[in-house]
Amino acid sequence: MGGPTIAAAPPTDYALVKRLVRAGIVHKAAFDQPRPARSHEYREGHLCALQHWADPVTKRLCPHAAGTVHADAWMAGWTEASLLWPVMR
């Protein structure tokens, strides 16, 4: 009953880990340069799109209700990031 706690093993797919790290680097670079300010939701959608590129098996859906400004911002971030997918290959 009170057995040892086993920590979750890290991902073993080295290529997947490399793609996820690259997605984070590209996301950071996109927002570390001078540009108009973007909302948290926009940046969140941007990162989710890059993570989707890195790991298309994992579903990443917009967490905001359809038709809201938050959902619109999230989708706009996704759209910008999707333009970066060819660059990331």
Report how far residue 35's alpha carbon sits from residue 3's, in angstroms, rounded to the nearest whole number: 53
- Predicted pLDDT of residue 42: 95
Report how far residue 37's alpha carbon sits from residue 14's, in angstroms, rounded to the nearest whole number: 34
Tell me the Ramachandran region of residue 39: left when phi exceeds 0, alpha when psi lies from -120 to 50, beta otherwise.
beta
Task: Give me the mean pLDDT over the 70-85 stretch.
Answer: 92
**Residue with more model confidence, 15 or 64:** 64
Q: Where are the domains of the chain?
A: 40-89
Given a cut of 70, is residue 1 above it in pLDDT? no
**Within its chain, how far is the Cα of 69 from the centroid?**
19
